[in-house]
Amino acid sequence: MRLAPKLILALTLPICAVITVHAMWSIDAVVERMRRTAATDLHLRGRTLALAVEAMLARGDEAGARRLVDAVSAEYEQSEVRWVPGASADVPARPDHLVQVVPVHAGAQVPGHLLLSVSSATARDEVREIVVHTAVTAALLLVACGLMIALASVRLVGRPLAAVAGQVRRIADGDLTGRAAVDSDDEIGRLAEQVNAMTARLRETREALTKEAERRVAALDELRHAERLKTVGQLASGVAHELGTPLNVVAGRARMIARGQVEGKDLVESANIIVEQTQRMSKLITHLLTYARRRPSPRQKLDLAAQIDHAITLVEPLTRKARVTPRIEAGVGPFVVEGDTAQVEQVLANLLMNATQAMPDGGEVTVKLERVHEARDEETPIDFVRVSVIDQGIGMSPEVRARIFEPFFTTKDVGAGTGLGLSVAYGIVRDHGGWIDVDSAPGEGTTFRVHFPAVA
């Protein structure tokens, strides 16, 4: 039930009760007053008539006295006067009548009584009239009060409360721009003021949070970029090493051509070798540059198999130098996920580099690619693409294993490790709706398993 009807009921019901009680009291009082007036009136009339009758009896005119009584009785339609002879007279019970008995004296004797009665029909009619008047007045009063209360409750309570409720609803919907338009200086006005002040504070907090979130995203981007540059730095030494062989080949062939040691078919072959080697060098550098320059991009559908190929090519200068052979083991696809190419590549490159660095004597790194139907924690199982990077390296103690995702945690020498790789990778994978888990034991190698939600 709405507030206005409740207020109307709450205020009109007591008024209604008071008016009813008042009307009943008034009616009782009027009836009593009329009864007393009628009794006095009847008594007066009886006494007056008795005096006249007594005077006539004193003169011995009993017949005249009787005629007088009959004449008076015939005078009023509603009342009756009778002569009752005898020294005593009972008051007869007459329903709906007021009855009075007045003794008539003749010296010390009482020869008879005057019996006066008046019908209460007139009084009843008057009472009915009063009741009708009171009821109509009460009804009019109730309607007027109801209207006034309805108007007041709609204007003073209903509308301001609706404005406050509207503002609260807008806040719940996340719209913090409006305000509750209430001008009154009563309790509801103060409530609206508080709600408006709260809205303003929420708006300020939200703006501050948005700015803070933007600052955090920017800081995270910087951190990821820094980690990426560290990888580039490490790869650069591998690239420099890789460039040695093709550079020697190019220099040797060029020298032979310059000295005129090759001619005809051999000359063409040397030129082709030079082209081939420069292309190889340019590819190496292009890969590295692309990786270094890549910035976060919008999410798109990615084939993880292609991303793994890419990452393996990228770290090739390093793996080759460390005599590590990456091997891909792909299950049944498709291995499509939705993600940011640069970030996914960063995760894979980091895992491959860590695996390579964990095998100082070289060996094999297996990159396993499969689709799994799994649930994380209590969630319902869904399809994930799982990339496992399995090395045969030094492994980790449980203490190291427990801290690897902490930012700046590293067991590597100063300059070799920053401790950011895995924490950045963890953040990226979590941003993509996935997770990373690890199996490792000292001397027994390490397996990193990265899960990305599969695209249907």
Contact footprint for ligand ADP (CB under 6 A): 350, 354-355, 358, 391, 393-396, 400, 404, 409-412, 417-423, 446
Q: Which is nearer to ligand ADP, 409 or 435 (CB)?
A: 409
Q: How far is the CB of 446 from ligand ADP (least distance, A)?
A: 4
Sign of the CA dihedral 121, 127, 132, 135?
A: negative
Closest approach of ligand ADP to the CB of residue 181, in Å: 56
Q: How far apart are CA 54 and CA 61, in angstroms?
A: 10
* Backbone φ and ψ of 302, nearest 5°: -125, 140
Whole-number Å distance between alpha carbons of 285 and 313: 11
CB of 361 to ligand ADP, least distance (A): 14
Instruction: Pick the closer one to ligand ADP by CB: 8 or 358.
Output: 358
Measured from the CB atom, is 199 or 350 closer to ligand ADP? 350
Q: How far is the CB of 353 from ligand ADP (least distance, A)?
A: 7
What does the alpha-carbon distance between residue 228 and residue 220 come to, in Å, rounded to a whole number?
Answer: 12
Question: Strand, coil or helix: what is 248?
Answer: helix
**Is the CB of 239 or the CB of 404 nearer to ligand ADP?**
404
Largest CA distance in the chain: 191
Q: Under a CB-based contact definition with an 8 Å cutoff, are residues 303 and 336 in contact? A: yes
Q: How far is the CB of 403 from ligand ADP (least distance, A)?
A: 8
Nearer to ligand ADP, 180 or 355 (CB): 355
User: Measured between alpha carbons, how far is 13 from 138 in angstroms, rounded to an integer?
Assistant: 12
State the minimum distance, in angstroms, from the CB of residue 410 to ligand ADP.
3
Compute the least distance from the CB of residue 389 to ligand ADP, in Å: 7
- Least distance from ligand ADP to the Cβ atom of residue 401, Å: 8
3-state class (DSSP) for residue 365: strand
Q: Considering beta carbons, is residue 167 or 446 the nearer one to ligand ADP?
A: 446
362/357 Cα distance (integer angstroms): 9
Nearer to ligand ADP, 26 or 410 (CB): 410
Toward ligand ADP, which CB reaches closer, 228 or 253? 228
User: In angstroms, rounded to a whole number, what is the distance separating the alpha carbons of residues 110 and 85?
Assistant: 9
Which parts of 259-328 fold into alpha helices (H)?
Answer: 264-293, 304-321
Q: Return the residue matching tokens 């790869």.
A: 235
Cis geometry, peptide bond prior to residue 360 (ω within 30 degrees of 0): no
Tell me whether the omega of the peptide bond preceding residue 334 falls within 30 degrees of 0, making it cis. yes
* Closest by CA position to 322, among listed 352, 363, 281, 288: 363
Token couple for 238: 């591998």
Q: Which residue is nearest to ligand ADP (CB)?
A: 421
User: Toward ligand ADP, which CB reaches closer, 61 or 364?
Assistant: 364
CB of 236 to ligand ADP, least distance (A): 16
